[in-house]
Amino acid sequence: MTESGTDAAAPERRGRVSGRAEDGWTDARLVEACLSGNQAAWAALVERYARLIYSVPRRYQATPEDAEDIFQTVCLELYNALPRLRKVDSLRSWLMTVASHASLAWKTARTRRGHVVDVDDADPVRLSTVDRDLLEDVERDQLVRDAVRSLPERCRELVGILFFEQPPRSYKEVAAHFGLAVGSLGFIRGRCLQKLQKALREAGIARA
């Protein structure tokens, strides 16, 4: 890890899914590797949940600069909490809770001039219906990203290029990237989307 343990590029500046071996690891394996000082594992863990973390303050209409501050706060909380995380399977929910606490603190401090609210003061019980709806949207987005990450490597890369890259590439450029004819790309795209649809159904966010 870096000296601070939390050095990471802003999520909106990140590219598509990388091809690192650690990207296919479970959260538990990543956390274990992080605790042993594996810098690549820490980078992969932050990369995996960067958009989830960053999207929470953005849903609260935080400025990009404030959202970046909240993102770094959550990453620091995660880094400090790694040794005592007991339920790694609940890491996504834990991150959403910490991000919502920090976002609510920012929101409260913004409306109370001169008053700084600690993260721990933001009680999740006080979440409004709107707040809960926002978090449900955030969690759904992360489930979609998890489903994409579960795809075979070529499908994961293809879906990332076609649907997540900005600015989007033309079909001709994508076909050239994979060394395929444009006509073949459509067939492979269909196969990959079928696999993605299956993964989304298994995650409970698509109809059977």
pLDDT tens per residue, range 181-198? 888 888 898 999 899 988
Does the global pTM surpass 0.85? no
What would the pLDDT profile of 73-127 be if each residue is shown by its tens digit? Answer: 999 999 999 998 878 888 888 888 888 888 888 887 776 545 444 444 444 434 4
- Domains in the chain, ordered, with CATH? 1-126 (1.10.1740.10), 150-208 (1.10.10.10)
The percentage of residues in the chain with a pLDDT greater than 90, rounded to a whole number, is 18
Q: What is the C-alpha separation between 171 and 80, in angstroms, rounded?
A: 44
What backbone torsions phi and psi does residue 165 show, to the nearest 5 degrees?
Answer: -75, 140
Burial of 168-178, coded b for 16+ CB within 10 Å and e otherwise, reads: eeeeeebbeee
Q: What is the C-alpha separation between 26 and 30, in angstroms, rounded?
A: 6
The DSSP line for 97-161 is HHHHHHHHHHHHHHHSTT-PPPGGG--GGG--HHHHHHHHHHHHHHHHHHHHHTS-HHHHHHHHH
Residue 42 clears pLDDT 90, i.e. is over it: yes
Report residue 19's pLDDT band, with 50, 70 and 90 as the boundaries.
Answer: low
